[in-house]
Structure 1
Amino acid sequence: MKAYLDFEKPVADLEGKIAELQALGDEQGSVGIDDEISRLREKADQALRDIYAKLNPWQKTQVARHPRRPHTRDYIQRLIEEFTPLAGDRSFGEDAAIMGGLGRFRGRPVVVMGHEKGHDTQTRLEHNFGMARPEGYRKAVRLMEMADNFAMPVVTFIDTAGAYPGIGAEERGQAEAIARGTDACLKLGVPNVATVVGEGGSGGAVAIATASRVLMLEHSIYTVASPEASASILWRDSARAADAATAMKITAQDLQGFGVIDRIVKEPVGGAHRDTETAIDAVGDAIAEALAEFDGRAPEEVRRMRREKFLAIGRGL
């Protein structure tokens, strides 16, 4: 059963009528019903295109959080061959909110990692809804150092509401772990490509997204704090999340204009959750093109290009 967002109600109504007519057609086998189904399907497709052509920032936030949107595990399963997961930070323990390991991306050995939210209640609890603790970021640093040692590019997938804010995480140095993750990204002598595939929340995203090239799916968001948290801070009213989403300029289109990200990856009509394979393949093509830009470049040049990219953000606005 499809999960519809509030603003998709016109599409939900049309697709509901289609389902009813299909059930009736199976019973009666009427040609007239088939014609009506075709007409309604065209109408539903057009309604979906019209809605997604003019999404506002809050609606994009809802799409970015859609429960059926593909997650890191889905990208790894489709894009990475011979994936070998690696676990633990060699200091405290394993954190399932960030999964990572070694594999081959279109024949090229890579280190891959990303936030994993889970797809049902059990796996969401197991992965802590994609909110990493310090050991998750220290594991990421360990993997990045391994990538540098063996001259393997780093591919990351970003999808988190933010780093886990629990007491235990703070006691184990959450802020320091995020800072070291960001520092490790900047020091890499190999190219790293980060793709925001859902939510890019706060330092929890930046810790593994400070990359040579930063990509975003068309309906994903990238923000210093969630719209709800920002509304609570600015207006002491989390119900004004839609206002905060608009004011903060968190969409891929806004961020490309500011130079924060390098490329927007188009999604299938209706969002990545409606055609996950097409969406994942589009991300794979974009990653391959980004990595190709750095072929044959020396480590110092890769570092210099990354540094200049981030120093240039906001200049000339």
Structure 2
Amino acid sequence: MLLNYLRLLLLPFSLIYGMAIVLRKKLYDWGLMQSVKFDLPVICVGNLAVGGSGKTPTTEYLVRLLAGYKIAILSRGYGRKTKGFILADASSTAETIGDEPLQYYQKFNNVTVAVCEDRAKGINQLKENHDLIILDDAFQHRAVQAGFNILLFEFRKLGTLQFLLPAGNLRDVFSSRKRADVLLVTKSPVPLLHVAQQASVNELQPNASQPVLHSYLKYGNLVHLFNKESLTLESIKDFEIFLLTGIANPEPLIEELQKYSKTIRHEDFPDHYAFKHADISKFKNAFLAGIKKEKIIITTEKDSKRLRATGFEDLLVDLPVYYLPIEVELFEEDKITFDELILNYVKSNRRNR
């Protein structure tokens, strides 16, 4: 409650921020600030809010959909301790390229993963050897004119009052959605009622050419942090769960785990948090002091990259530490529309190399 009042005090700064965003937007629209277009398919996955809308699993969905092409994923590499253009390789860590790019690199063998703050520079480094480039979180990066923009909106946040930074979590004005080619509503409930589907359309007020499509999260099996042993969620029914997260919105994950256990001890850190030795040591002690005989530590796939990269193996190696992978899936009719739009865009804009 106190935090909400403090945020209200920041509203004047949000107004200033909004004016700056609108001015910058107009400068690009009027051609006074230059936007570079490239001669190969460039797909941008973005959102208007800060984190938590499902960009990472949506990017992974695109990689699987476009598996027949030579793909490069280009990200800023949020949270890394390096600068400039870096290609992911076997020596990469969350500190050198960021947790999400590391996840892409370790998950997809035939995909090039790179990070660069300057997306135009990054694309120039990658374009000669690839059929297409996926920009992870670059909707606000107007210096590059992506050929196809996918803009994500989290289902449960539609219809709620949201403010621009710093009073709220929006980093862009709502009218910017008009630039997108597809408005993808993420983390939808299953089943999705028609009335809820229509409510999304009413809220987003798309252009005539903008489809509003809906996706949901699909959870996989738990994977051990070190030995890759796999467990089904059903097999941990009624376990005491110690949940460790450093993501923007852990609520959908908590709701999923509550289907299997009523005892969840959640240690929540900010998005992309750089875990410290003291954090993990304290968390381990809490786990060892757990009440139930059957207990487990669960984290997200993104968090697992930072846990493995920062030398916590000695603390965690003897513990049942698992991460829970997630995938994005679209509802049947929306999937047909979405896949067709993406595949047709790539096919019609692909260069002959």
Q: Same fold (TM over 0.5)?
A: no
Question: Comparing both structures, which one devotes a greater share of its residues to strand?
Answer: 2
**TM-score with structure 1 setting the length:** 0.29
Instruction: Point out which structure has higher relative CO (alpha carbons under 8 A, 6+ apart).
Output: 2
**TM-score with structure 2 setting the length:** 0.27
Question: Comparing both structures, which one devotes a greater share of its residues to helix?
Answer: 1
